[in-house]
Amino acid sequence: MYNNPYATIYNSQANIDRINNQIAELERLKSQIPTQTMQQPASLTQNFQLAPNNNLSVMRYSNSMDEVQKEVVIGDTPFFSKDMSVVWIKDAKNNIKTYELKEIIPKDNKDLQIEYLQAQIEELKRGMKNNESNDNVTEPIAKPIESKEPTTVSTVSKSNKKSKWSSRDTKQYD
């Protein structure tokens, strides 16, 4: 089989037959392609419908109320000032509501304690002012009357005669 001239001719003839079969197959496929492309494609219909978007996620920035009034909106639309301190909400009827924004800063225990102590200081200051205003009143405050009489009465010594005062009658005066 090696060095056999008839074997190489046979193999080359088989290769040529195989190549000719592939060419015939390609020619057949090539003839089918134009007939498939000649068919009418299905018609496409595109409908574009624009509907208002009621989504408030769209933010707009404005410098003043005049700019907000000039804008045309379809639905409720918020307009924020550049420093985020004011928000205007404009609806489709051109009604505008204005809100003031304030940042809320979470407070920890230390901040709460500081606020509590500051409130106590302010309360003490108000109490001091009230006391000062009471001290400046020109009306005299009623004071107890001082008497020059002694507050105690001494007992009279006993004698044979019955005395007018006895020890049990001794009284203290306030």
Tokens of 125: 């200051």
Tokens of 21: 């079969």
The residues spanned by each domain of the chain are 1-35, 60-100, 105-135
List C-alpha distances in Å: 129 to 86, 118, 119, 132, 133. Answer: 39, 17, 15, 5, 6
More confident residue, 27 or 144: 27
More confident residue, 150 or 135: 135
pLDDT of residue 174: 46
pLDDT of residue 49 exceeding 60, the answer is yes
Cβ-in-10-Å burial (0-12, 13-18, 19+) of 110 comes to exposed
What is the Cα–Cα distance from 30 to 12, expressed in whole angstroms? 27
pLDDT in tens, 86-139: 999 998 898 999 999 888 888 899 999 999 999 999 999 999 988 887 766 555
pLDDT in tens, 61-90: 888 889 998 888 888 899 999 888 999 999
pLDDT of residue 80: 92
Task: State pTM to two decimals.
Answer: 0.35
